[in-house]
Amino acid sequence: MALEKAYPGSGTEAIEVVNVDPVTGATVGPGQPSAATVYVLPSAAQTVTLVTADLAVATYRELQLLVNVSAVSGTTPSMTLTLDSKGADGVYYTVYTSSAITAAGKTLAHIGVGAATNVAFGSTVRLTATISGTAPSFTMSASLIGK
């Protein structure tokens, strides 16, 4: 949402356009998009590879991936997170890969041009959590925030 601030008495009645985050009400810089949740995975035990549906992210310059693993069990359990960009040819290309996750903990990644993972991600992405091991289980929640 954009608001206009007028400055009376300035002679030319200057107007400044200010963007306001519709969720938090916080002011963000001109042309800077507000943050929005793109995907949420509620906390649950995951025992097989998880692949999201296509997620529309064309309006965002950066994605923040947050994953909280609260419990891990099984023999040599391992999970790797990837974020794939869907090309115009319908093929997925990996733009981010996490280190192997083998224990409870939190993972945070910033993905986008100028972010920690400095890569363009296109207009459509999907998140994959590849799980391996013998009888592996990862109790986890995840979210993808666009800004």
CATH number at residue 81: 2.60.120.380
Residue 63 confidence (pLDDT) above 60: yes
Q: How far apart are CA 12 and CA 4, in angstroms?
A: 15
Question: Residues 82, 126: one domain?
Answer: yes
List pLDDT tens digits, range 77-121. Answer: 999 999 999 999 999 999 999 999 999 999 999 999 999 999 999
**Local confidence band at 34 (pLDDT 50, 70, 90 cut-offs):** confident
Question: Residues 39, 28: one domain?
Answer: no
Q: Of 25, 77, 86, give the one whose Cα is nearest residue 58.
A: 86
**Local confidence band at 124 (pLDDT 50, 70, 90 cut-offs):** very high
Check residue 33 and give its pLDDT.
Answer: 55
Question: Residues 28, 67: one domain?
Answer: no
Task: Give mean pLDDT, residues 119-146.
Answer: 97
In sequence order, the 6+-apart residues with CB closer than 8 A to the CB of 24 are: 34
Check residue 31 and give its pLDDT.
Answer: 54
Question: Residues 58, 20: one domain?
Answer: no
Domain count for the chain, please give it: 2
Residue 59 near residue 145 (C-beta atoms within 8 A): no
Q: How far apart are CA 99 and CA 66, in angstroms?
A: 14
Q: State whether residue 100 is helix, strand or coil.
A: coil
Domain range enclosing 104? 35-146
Stronger pLDDT, 28 or 120, i.e. the higher one: 120
Q: Beta strand pairing status for 27-28 and 92-97?
A: unpaired
Task: Give mean pLDDT, residues 120-131.
Answer: 96
Residue 112 near residue 60 (C-beta atoms within 8 A): yes
Predicted TM-score (pTM) of this structure: 0.76
Question: Residues 103, 67: one domain?
Answer: yes
Question: Residues 43, 22: one domain?
Answer: no
Structural tokens at position 14: 């200057």
